[in-house]
Amino acid sequence: MNKSRYILIFSIIILIIALTYNLRNKIINTEMVQREETDPRISLEMDKDIFLQEDNTSQNIPKKTKTSVNSPVVKDPDDISAEAYMIGDLDTNKVYLQYNSSKVLPIASLSKLFTALIAEHILDPEKTVNITEEILKTEGDAGHLVKDEVFTVKELFYPLLMESSNDAAEALAESYGYSRFIIQMNQFAKELGMISTRFNDATGLSSQNVSNVKDLFILSKYLFESEASLLEVTKQKTFDLATTTADMASTTTKHQFHHFVSINPYVFYSHFLGGKTGRTNEAKESMISLFEYNSDLTTHNIAIIILRSEFGQREIDTEKLIMKFLKEVKQ
């Protein structure tokens, strides 16, 4: 009898403990749901994940070009390394955020957006361009162009804007006459109202290629509104191209095959509308990124422009600015 009583008492204790544990878990889960609903930091992180939603078509693309996007969770969105930056609405011209927006800084390979723009305006897209030994002396081998290789103007846009090929930039400028091409770049910048922008070469290697984020927003808006084809090139993950190479000595023709892979990490994200990266020792890291963001039945087409980020920080800076933008639109 006593043994049965002890078993009954023990069973009741076990039941009470189990019920208490389940009730505690329910309370904790409820608190976590309420915290997710009320804590703006969690909401913003979820929005940022949607903002940078991965494009599923990237599954078969080599992963080496997207490693830099996997930045840490942003805890302090004010800690931005860039020396100047701006977030602006491409439809309304509203500036959500700007810092040192008038400061003139070297822009590195952001210059290539303007190189492509001028080439499209003044050159026949089907004009053939020969890659000379002199062109290949330019610093860097991005694009892996080959001596005596023949491209059309529009084909050179792919190595120029996807892999940031200096050789492609030089080839486009030389095909028109280098000095005249640079004059056209500077003249059109003035026509667009980019009053603080100066170009000294077609590549961006020169530290005298300078601008500020206000001028680069003007460029971004012009590209968004009038140059959809160029922005489309900057969105490509990969592009395959076959060209010919004429051996001048033997008059034989060889075929060259290129597999261009974008160096821009944001091509892997579905809301990315286009853009360009830049990097030199003097300019450090720069980036123009155009994004589409849908919120409360409203579409925001925005440009995020950063100049002189510390090395290895431009994607992190861009994502911090995305967080700032999301705070602004939610207020």
Q: Is 112 a catalytic residue?
A: yes
Residue matched to tokens 């997710």: 36
Is the alpha carbon torsion for 152, 228, 69, 88 positive or negative? Answer: positive
- State the catalytic residue, choosing from 101, 111, 164, 220: 164
Q: Is 164 a catalytic residue?
A: yes
CA triple 211-208-100, angle to 5 deg: 30
Amino acid occupying residue 79: D
Beta strands in the chain (DSSP E): 84-89, 95-99, 105-106, 128-130, 149-152, 210-211, 238-247, 252-261, 272-280, 284-295, 298-309
- State the catalytic residue, choosing from 48, 112, 214, 235: 112
| Neighbouring-strand partners of residue 86 | 98, 305
Do the beta carbons of residue 194 and residue 211 sit within 8 Å? Answer: yes
Do the beta carbons of residue 210 and residue 196 sit within 8 Å? Answer: yes
Integer-rounded Cα Rg, in Å, for the chain is: 27
- State the catalytic residue, choosing from 101, 109, 175, 211: 109
- The catalytic residue positions are 109, 112, 164
